[in-house]
Structure 1
Amino acid sequence: MGTYSFNRESRLLTPGHFQQVFDHPSRYGSSHFTILVTSNKDDKNRLGMAIAKKRVKLAVQRNRIKRLVRESFRLNQHKLPAVDLVVMVKSGIDQLENEAINQQLEKIWRKINQRHKR
C-alpha cells in the first residue's frame, strides 16, 4: 500500500508537464469532468488541474472543486498506474454536491485503472 500524501512530486508543475499530457492524451470523462491521461516514465502519478473561469465563475467554487479533486486523487493514487493526469471541468459542475463530484471521480479512477494496466 502506498502513502497517502499529496506533495510537490504529486503535481504537474510546469507548462512543459502539462503540454506532455495535452500532446498525447487518453480521454476519460463523465458528465462534468474530462480527464486527460498520459503514461509517464516515473513510478509516480501526477495531477494537474485546468479549471477555467469560463466554466466555474466563482473562485470559491473553483477552489472547492480543486480540493475535492485533490483529495479524491490522494486517496486513490495508490490504485492508479503511473500516469500524469490533467483534470478539466464542464459547465454546471458548481451546481453539484460534493458527494456527486466524488462519485464521478471514483468512476473515472476505476476506468483509468482498467484501461492503463501496469
Structure 2
Amino acid sequence: MREKELSNLTDSPERRFTLSKSHILRGRRNFEELFSGSSMLRSQNVNLRYTSYPNADKKILVGFIAPKKIGKAVQRVRTKRLLREAYRLNQHIITGLPITADIGLHYAFMAKRADLTFEAVQQEVISLLKELRDRLLSKNSPF
C-alpha cells in the first residue's frame, strides 16, 4: 500500500503540485459574492477577479472562467484546462498568504481569448498571482 503524501499547503520541503476539489470555487452564491464586491487585475489574455475577507475562516478558493463569447464549448474547455494547469503549477505563490496574513481569499481567472498557448497563460498567471500577493500584503501590512 502506498504512503499518503503530504499536502502542498504544508511547510514540507517536498512540494506536491495538486489542486484538490476542496480548493475550487463553486456555487452560485460564491460567484455572486465574487462579482459583486471584488477587485480586478488585468493582463493581456487573462483577468483575475478577487475578493479578500478579513478573517481566515473563509479559506482560499479559486475558480476558472471561460465565457461563451470566446468560442465554442471545445475551445472553452481547453482554455479552462490551460488556466487550471498553469495555476496548479504556480499556486505556491499565493497559498501561504492566508496563513501569514490571516485572511480568506476567493478569486477567479477569466480568459479573454481561446487561442492561447500554455506558455503565455502560465506567464500571465504567474504575474497576476505575484501582483495579487503584493497587493494583499501591502493592504494587510501593520506598518
TM-score, length of structure 2 as denominator length: 0.70
- Percent identity reads 30
Match of 1:29 among 31, 39, 42: 42
Asked if 1:44 is matched to 2:66, the reply is: no
Which residue number in structure 1 is paired with residue 4 of structure 2? none
- Structure 2 unmatched runs, 5+: 1-7, 10-15, 99-104
Which residue of 20, 25, 37 corresponds with 1:12? 25
Q: Aligned-pair distance for 1:36? A: 0.6
In structure 2, relative to structure 1, the CA distance for the partners of 1:44 and 1:78 (3 Å cut) is farther
**1:65 alignment partner in structure 2:** 79
State the aligned residue count.
115
Please identify, of 81-90 and 96-105, the stretch whose mean Cα deviation from structure 2 is larger.
81-90
**C-alpha deviation, 1:14, in angstroms:** 0.7
Question: How far is the alpha carbon of 1:112 from its aligned partner?
Answer: 0.6
Per the alignment, residue 110 of structure 1 pairs with 130
| Root-mean-square deviation (Å) | 2.0
Secondary structure at the aligned position of 2:69 is classed as coil
**1:74 equivalent in structure 2:** 88
**TM-score, with length taken from structure 1:** 0.82
Q: How many angstroms apart in 1 are the aligned matches of 2:73 and 2:116?
A: 15
**Shift in Å, 1:52:** 1.1
C-alpha deviation, 1:58, in angstroms: 2.9
Deviation at 1:59, TM superposition (A): 2.4
User: Where do 5+ consecutive residues of structure 1 fail to align?
Assistant: none
What residue is the counterpart of 2:12 in the other structure? none
Partner Cα separation in structure 2 for residue 101 and residue 77 of structure 1: 14
Tell me if the contact between 1:45 and 1:77 (Cα under 8 Å) persists in the aligned partners: no
**Higher relative contact order, chain-length normalized (CA < 8 Å, sep 6+):** 1
Aligned to 1:98: 118
Larger-gyration structure (1/2): 2
Give 1:85's match in structure 2, choosing from 100, 107, 118: 107
